[in-house]
Structure 1
């Protein structure tokens, strides 16, 4: 154990399926204290050497892997890194072209075209429209005694924003949402990855791909001033920008770009319900919202775990990690590491939460981070101000159901009754 005492009261080996979805942090803490670089070794296979999976629980090790070019998104042994089985052609074709699964140099070229429309200057110009969308959604909620916050606000809000940015039909957001959830059912931690779920995800990938191919075809002859028009204008300028790459990028922005914000909004509301004094502070001083959003991201991030692959032999906290090993970065644990964040289990909206890993670090730092922050600041500000369940004297009944997912982590349903 390299100087760490053997775990005695924690599941061995580490298994995310055995964690409490609503509160995994006590288990994270025990691993962080006893076995922060934890190996799960595969059964011996005749004639084959299977890679070890490492779970990292400390902030130092997680931050190092995120910023170290010796770790990548694709396995150096197989060239793969996409968590989709063989046989689901459209699903694999879409997902393997997502920016988040690419390594340089292709990642660098594609990101250069996607980043500017999502950067801070572009998002500042979008803020009035983001607020309009949020107000349209909050207005009816403010009049209802019972509110289902995920479907009523947290899911449609970022979807409508991303749809407007791309330039696609905002009225189709229920279809976008259904197809996005179908894709996520095929992910590594959600659902049972049954053939039926994978086939449904494959059909969703095909439908979204066909939709964005049609939209790109329109933009080749008609510049509408949206992100799809910008992508169509550069299509074919290099090998990273073929039509499949661009449609995959659109699907990625639509899915990951809304689900993370949906999780952030839902979990932030749960935190505010548990700590009414925080909502009172935000109502009294909305200028605290930007820092509060970073603290919500640190305290209970909407992405709890991400994967990297070791591209060379290295050492992490005294443990020998071999080229080809899989490394699972437990962001939720890194964010509660007292070596980086004093009194880490306490939600403190005045804290300096910089260097949290909710948007990643290094070359894969989330290209939509500025947009997600703007959505959260605007959306949470309106909810705190207008949602009856978040009033200081409210005592709402809360019903919450978490999605069985550690990648996109958060409530699938959140019902508030006043």
Structure 2
């Protein structure tokens, strides 16, 4: 239960300062109790928010918590994903996202995708990822001021994912716009009014049309891109529908680009606030892998993930009935002083310890190895190519989203840029 001084926790309705820096809010709840029950809503299951590292690990790794609301409720007619029924295209796409699947479908699809995101495959992509980063950097800040999100952090992962999927890079601006529109359905984007679902539905229809045509074009093709491999696997008898292929492509575009965009943009903000660390990384680029890991812990790009209670449980001193929604706060867990000494300090030489920036368990981020490589390569390109990255003014505007968390604008004034 909440203490007398703490209101019921919610991920909606946050002020802009708290969105930009949520960790003091998390700490107040964590110090009061590791788990808090949110405000009850008529006709909806109770929601429990999990703040401590140990309890978040349990939620993410215990098969008693899963992704399908139908299993949790025992009602096969219930919605499997939190999308209203009238938004049919959006619901169909999201239902086929890997992150919303339980075994055996999750196991089958992850097995198909896994080798394309393996460390060896990502290592082979690193030269091309570096080329993409340097190409974007050449066009950034021609007038001494640049929006790092629009000009670098957002298009960078989209272009990489286009490369993986075999989608022409000239489509990246359109793909980015549609992916952002799809995210308007996020339940924590509370300032968008009722139009968010409509915009996301329109984007879902566009994605469905686009990728169905791409699937048609690739039948019998010998290309080696990921989309063609999925089509070939389906035609060879793999348990994968066209809806599943479309949903997977959209999932890779939205979750993949949003995560890396936020990781890069927030890494730059953090390093600007820690100029000695920034200067040290310029002189010791071999420290970048450790720095990325600490930046991921310090301010993760995904702050919260949802599970459903598949059975009655006891969690952090709370009775959690079957059917409850359970939200694991990765951002809070990564700042839990019970796991990480001096958690509010940035220490790129911190001893390796498992942070939860990319989750845990069977839903551990499929693209984590790729995202780490993009962050390392992207940060090195920025540090090498922008000598004034740590100086000058900045204008920051965060997206109103406490799940995919990061700036939607990061305008930097960089002295000395031509």
TM-score with structure 2 setting the length: 0.93
Deviation at 1:14, TM superposition (A): 4.0
Match of residue 401 from structure 1: 397
2:350 aligned counterpart, secondary structure? coil
Deviation at 1:353, TM superposition (A): 4.6
- Give the Cα–Cα distance (whole angstroms) in 1 for the partners of residues 180 and 141 of structure 2: 27
- Give the Cα–Cα distance (whole angstroms) in 2 for the partners of residues 249 and 15 of structure 1: 27
Q: Would you say the 8 A contact 1:142–1:388 is kept in 2?
A: no
**Is 2:67 the partner of 1:69?**
no
Structure 2 gap segments, 5+ residues each: none
Structure 1 gap segments, 5+ residues each: none
- Give the Cα–Cα distance (whole angstroms) in 1 for the partners of residues 335 and 141 of structure 2: 34
Greater CA drift, 315-324 or 63-72: 315-324
Write out per-residue CA displacement over residues 109-131 of structure 1, whole angstroms, 9 at most, x where no aligned residue.
11111111111111000000000
Deviation at 1:313, TM superposition (A): 0.9
Greater CA drift, 379-388 or 29-38: 379-388
Instruction: Find 2:26's aligned residue among 20, 25, 28.
Output: 28
Match of residue 87 from structure 1: 86
Instruction: Find 1:53's aligned residue among 18, 36, 47.
Output: 47
2:13 aligned counterpart, secondary structure? helix
Greater CA drift, 21-30 or 199-208: 199-208
1:225 aligned counterpart, secondary structure? coil
Tell me: CA distance 1:147–1:38, structure 2 relative to 1, closer, same or farther (3 Å). Answer: same
Match of residue 205 from structure 1: 204
Tell me: CA distance 1:411–1:15, structure 2 relative to 1, closer, same or farther (3 Å). Answer: closer
- Give the Cα–Cα distance (whole angstroms) in 1 for the partners of residues 331 and 316 of structure 2: 19
Match of residue 176 from structure 2: 177
Match of residue 218 from structure 2: 219
Deviation at 1:346, TM superposition (A): 0.3
- Give the Cα–Cα distance (whole angstroms) in 1 for the partners of residues 200 and 141 of structure 2: 35
Deviation at 1:41, TM superposition (A): 4.7
Report runs of 4+ in structure 1 exceeding 6 Å deviation: none
- Give the Cα–Cα distance (whole angstroms) in 1 for the partners of residues 191 and 267 of structure 2: 28
- Give the Cα–Cα distance (whole angstroms) in 2 for the partners of residues 240 and 195 of structure 1: 36
TM-score with structure 1 setting the length: 0.93
Match of residue 110 from structure 2: 111
Tell me: CA distance 1:83–1:315, structure 2 relative to 1, closer, same or farther (3 Å). Answer: same
- Give the Cα–Cα distance (whole angstroms) in 2 for the partners of residues 299 and 24 of structure 1: 12
Greater CA drift, 235-244 or 70-79: 235-244
1:137 aligned counterpart, secondary structure? helix
Match of residue 294 from structure 1: 293
